[in-house]
Amino acid sequence: MSLERILILDDELVIRKALEEQLRRKRFSVCSVGTLGEADEHLSKDEYDLLFVDVHLPDGNGTELLERVSSMSNPPLVVIITGYGTVESAVKCMQSGAFDYIIKPFSSSQIDVLIKKARDYRQLVKVNQFLASESTVSGELIGKSGFVNQLKDVIRKVAPTEATVLICGENGTGKELVANELYRCSARKSAPFIRVNCAAISESLIESEFFGHEKGAYTGATQRREGRFELADGGTILLDEISEISPKVQAKLLRVLQEREFERVGGNKTIKVDVRVIATTNRNLAQSVERGQFRQDLYYRLNVFPIQVPPLRDREGDVVLLAKTFSQNFGRKHGKQIKGFSEDAIVALERHSWPGNVRELQNTIERAVILAESGQPIAQAHLGLFAMPTNVSAPPVAHAHAYGHAEAASPGYGAGYPAPPPPPPPHGNGGYYDAPPPAYPQAPAAPSMPEPAAMPSPVAPPVREEPPAKAPAEPATPLPLEEIEKKHILSTLESTEGNRTQAAKLLGISIRTLRNKISAYREDGEFIPGE
C-alpha cells in the first residue's frame, strides 16, 4: 500500500474528529491539527502521503500550504476542504497543485472514493518512476519449430491463471521474453509488471529492494521507499535469476509467497499485497536443493508450474528465421538496407552450435549488419562463422547445454563446427526438460541434416533424481559458522523434544540466550522443535 500516513488540517473539531475516525477504521496512520503552524511542525518532523486542508484557518489560508509542500523531495497529495465552494476557487486550487477539492458537508462514501483515487494515483506514480529507470525487454517469441510451438501452447494455457511459474533454461534462451508473454496474455496485463534482477543486486540491499525500507532504517535511508513487491501490488513481479538470493532472503521470500504479506526494513507494519510471481533460473534448482544451496520449501512454492525454454541448437529451422528478423531490426537501427543472407552465410548459421543461444545469434547478426554494405546481402565473412571443412573431423568446441555449463574448450572465436553430443540430461529434475540430445553430424563428405530430436513436453512431472552409479562425490560446500551454530542448536532442541531449559544446559548457554536465538530463527522461517 503506497498510502499510509494522513494529516488533517481543519479548525472545526467536529469535522476533524469525524474524518479522523473514518480514516483510522481503514487502518491509516492519522494526525489532525487545527492551525497552519501545527501543520508545519508535523510536516517538518514526519513524512505524509495525503493532506486534507481546510481553506479558512485561524492563522491563514490553507492554500498557502500548497506552495510549501510542492518544494519537498517527496511531496504529499493535498485535498482542499471548504464550506464556500465555487468553480473559480476550485480551479484556482487545482492550478496551485491540489490533488482534489471537496465541499462541506461531505459523506463517508465521498471520502472512500477519494482515498481509492489517491492510492491508485500514488502507486501509478511510483511504478512509472521505477519503470522509467529500468530497461525493458520487448518483442515476441519467434520460431516455427515443434519446441517453440509447444512452448507457445503452454504459455497460452498457464498465462490466464494465477499460478506461480518457474521458467528454466540456459543463458540466452529468452527466459525473460517468455515471462513477458505470460504477463501480456494474463488477466493482469493492465496492472504493473515489475522486474527484479536478483543477480545484479548486492546481498546487503536485496531485502530493501524486495520489501522497501522506512526512513532511518539504515545509514542513507533518508526517506521511506516502497519495495518491488509493493510496486507490483495488483500486478506481476518477475524474479530473474532467483537462485542467486541468499538463504536469509529466501526465508523472507517464502513468507511473501505463502501469506502475501511482509514488513519493510526498519518497519513493524505488516503490508499485504496481491501479486503474481514469475521466477527464472539458469540452474538446476533441484540439485541446488540437494546441495543445501536453496531452500526446499521455497523451491516447491516456486515450482508450481515449471516451463523449460529450449536451447537454440534444438530449435530446428528457427536459426535462419531469427537471423532474418534480427537483420531487419538492426538494419533499421543502424540505417542500412540489408538484402538477406548469402547461401554460404545461411549454411554457416545452420551449422554453428550456438552455445550462447539466441543472445549469441543476436549479437552476431548485429555485428554482421554493421560490417555488411547497405543494399547487399550478409556474407559468411561478416558473421565470423566458418562452415566445417569436408576433409577434417570436427574439433571440440564449447557446448553449453543445460544450466549454462560448457562441456569442452573452444578452439577460438569464429569456430562454427558442430559440437559433439552433450551427455544426456538427468531425468525427472522437478519439471525440467527430459529431452534426448539432438544428433550432431561428424563431418560428412556432403552436407546432411541432423536427425531431429524427440519432442518432449515443456512440462514434465517431478521425479526424484537418482545419482549416477559411479559418479565421484562432490566436496561438501563449507557452511558459515552461524549456520553451523543454528543447525547444532536446532538438533539439540529436537533431541530434548523442545525442552529449552535442558537444551540450554546441554549447550552451555543461558536460557535467555537460547530464547533470543530461537526468536531470530523463527523470524528467518525456521521450524522450531517443540512448537
Residues 282 and 376 occupy one common structural domain: no
Percent of the chain as helix, strand, coil, to the nearest 5: 40, 15, 45
Q: What range defines the domain where residue 502 resides? A: 481-523
Q: Is 128 among the domain residues? A: no
For residue 363, give the 3-state DSSP assignment.
helix
Residues 383 and 274 occupy one common structural domain: no
Neighbour-count burial of 308, counting CB atoms closer than 10 A to its CB (0-12 exposed, 13-18 middle, 19+ buried): buried
Residues 58 and 158 occupy one common structural domain: no
Neighbour-count burial of 233, counting CB atoms closer than 10 A to its CB (0-12 exposed, 13-18 middle, 19+ buried): buried
Last residue of a domain, one of 264, 280, 308: 308
CATH classification of the domain holding 409: 1.10.8.60
CATH classification of the domain holding 66: 3.40.50.2300
Q: Is 130 among the domain residues? A: no
| pLDDT per position as a tens digit, 378-388 | 999 999 885 44
**Residue 351 and residue 388 in contact, taking contact as beta carbons nearer than 8 Å:** yes
Q: Is 530 among the domain residues? A: no
Residues 285 and 181 occupy one common structural domain: yes
| pLDDT per position as a tens digit, 448-464 | 444 444 444 555 444 44
- Low-confidence stretches of the chain (pLDDT beneath 70): 1-2, 85-87, 129-139, 386-477
DSSP β-ladder status, 77-82 and 193-197: unpaired
Residues 325 and 447 occupy one common structural domain: yes
CATH classification of the domain holding 167: 3.40.50.300
Residues 100 and 157 occupy one common structural domain: no
Sequence letter at residue 499: N
Last residue of a domain, one of 266, 291, 308: 308
Residue 521 cell numbers, joined: 530463527
Q: Is 137 among the domain residues? A: no
Residue 152 cell numbers, joined: 507457445
**Residue 432 and residue 463 in contact, taking contact as beta carbons nearer than 8 Å:** no
Position 449 scores a pLDDT of 44
Rounded CA separation 23/16 (Å): 11
Q: Is 318 among the domain residues? A: yes
Residues 115 and 241 occupy one common structural domain: no
Cell 569442452 identifies what position? 408
Residues 100 and 202 occupy one common structural domain: no
Is the whole model's pTM more than 0.75, yes or no?
Answer: no
Residues 246 and 158 occupy one common structural domain: yes
Residues 442 and 497 occupy one common structural domain: no
225 has which bridge partners? 213
Residues 116 and 162 occupy one common structural domain: no
Position 62 scores a pLDDT of 82
What angle in degrees, to the nearest 10, is found between the helix axes of 318-333 and 357-371? Answer: 50
Q: Is 459 among the domain residues? A: no
Number of domain units in the chain: 4
Neighbour-count burial of 234, counting CB atoms closer than 10 A to its CB (0-12 exposed, 13-18 middle, 19+ buried): middle
Residues 225 and 280 occupy one common structural domain: yes
